[in-house]
């Protein structure tokens, strides 16, 4: 596993140095490889698929433009994620200013009171009803993530959804690890409170 990871990293490094030499095709490979993860970060950050696609596009374009500034010691994945997080922040700020889109509010009427949903990773065979419920839950969870403040949202997305290490996250967000930990803790509790309100019993 570790060996595999290493080869991927090495390949990334090769691709990056190729990009620095002006090879656009190498960047094409990088985009194909990382677009999914970047899209998921952006999607969880802004909670809207179309906007997330826009952000990822912008992120890759600006990444290509500033690829010469990329230091080889960092991984391209964290570097790209940092760009995506930054653009997502900007997007959310704009959204807040425009107030075009209403954020998911925890005060919204809650439909489900019957919701004892078993989210057991082991159960593969899901009935249609369960699938619908699952989708419903997914939307609720995303709604709660949306309701979080940006600073908590970031750490939650990067750590609990994307699984970046504390080290990587503190590197990306340019803050000490302690801050990451405490923010994450607050984020999790805030999310827990939100989910409890919406779903009921966890």
Partner 1 sequence: MDCHNIQEMLSSYIEGVISPEESKLIDEHLSACSKCKEALYDLKKTLEYVQNLEEVEPPEWLTQTVMTRIRSETEPRKGILQKLFYPLYIKLPIEAVAVVLIAVTALYIFKTIQPEIKPAKAPSEETTARIPSREKEEIPSISESKENVIPQSPPLEKGGKRGFEAERALPSKKTETMDKFVELPEAPSPITKQEESRPSAGAVAKDESKNQVLARAPKSKALAESKEEIITLTTNVDDIETAKKEIEKVLIGLGGKIIKTESYKDNNFITADLDSKKAAELIVKLKQIGEVKEKDMDLGSMEGYIEIRIEIVRK
Interface residues with partner 1 (CB under 8 A) are 24, 27-28, 31-32, 35-36, 39-40, 43-44, 49, 52-53, 56-57, 60-61, 64-65, 119, 121, 137-138, 141-142, 145, 156, 160-161, 166, 181-182, 184-185, 188-189, 191-192, 195-196, 202
DSSP of the chain: -HHHHHHHHHHHHHHHHHHHTT-HHHHHHHHHHHHHHHHHHHHHHH--HHHHHHHHHHHHHHHHHTGGG--TTS-HHHHHHHHHHHHHHHHHHHHHHHT-SPPP-TTSPP--SS------TT-----HHHHHHHHHHHHHHHHHHHHS-HHHHHHHIIIIIT---HHHHHHHHTS-HHHHHHHHHHHHHHHHHHHHHHHS--
Residue 62 C-beta: closest distance to partner 1, Å: 10
Residue 160 C-beta: closest distance to partner 1, Å: 5
| 37 vs 89, beta carbon nearer partner 1 | 37
| 6 vs 147, beta carbon nearer partner 1 | 147
Residue 183 C-beta: closest distance to partner 1, Å: 10
| 17 vs 35, beta carbon nearer partner 1 | 35
Residue 16 C-beta: closest distance to partner 1, Å: 15
| 132 vs 202, beta carbon nearer partner 1 | 202
Residue 143 C-beta: closest distance to partner 1, Å: 12
| 95 vs 137, beta carbon nearer partner 1 | 137
User: Residue written as tokens 């997007």?
Assistant: 91
């Amino acid at each position: 596993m570790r060996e595999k990871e290493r080869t991927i990293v090495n390949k990334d490094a090769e691709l990056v140095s190729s990009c620095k030499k002006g090879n656009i095709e190498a960047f094409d490979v990088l985009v194909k490889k990382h677009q999914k993860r970047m899209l998921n970060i952006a999607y969880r950050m802004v909670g809207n698929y179309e906007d997330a696609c826009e952000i990822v596009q912008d992120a890759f374009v600006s990444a290509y433009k500033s690829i010469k500034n990329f230091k080889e010691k960092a991984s391209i994945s964290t570097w790209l994620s940092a760009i995506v997080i930054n653009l997502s922040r900007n997007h959310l700020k704009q959204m807040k200013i425009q107030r075009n889109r209403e954020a998911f509010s925890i005060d919204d009427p809650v439909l489900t009171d019957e919701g004892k949903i078993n989210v057991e990773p082991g159960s593969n065979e899901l009935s249609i009803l369960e699938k619908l419920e699952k989708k419903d839950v997914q939307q609720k969870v995303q709604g709660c993530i949306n309701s979080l403040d940006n600073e908590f949202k970031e750490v939650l997305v990067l750590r609990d959804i994307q699984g970046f290490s504390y080290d990587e996250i503190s590197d990306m967000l340019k803050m000490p690890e302690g801050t990451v930990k405490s923010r994450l803790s607050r984020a999790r509790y805030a999310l827990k409170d939100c989910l409890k309100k919406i779903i009921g019993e966890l």
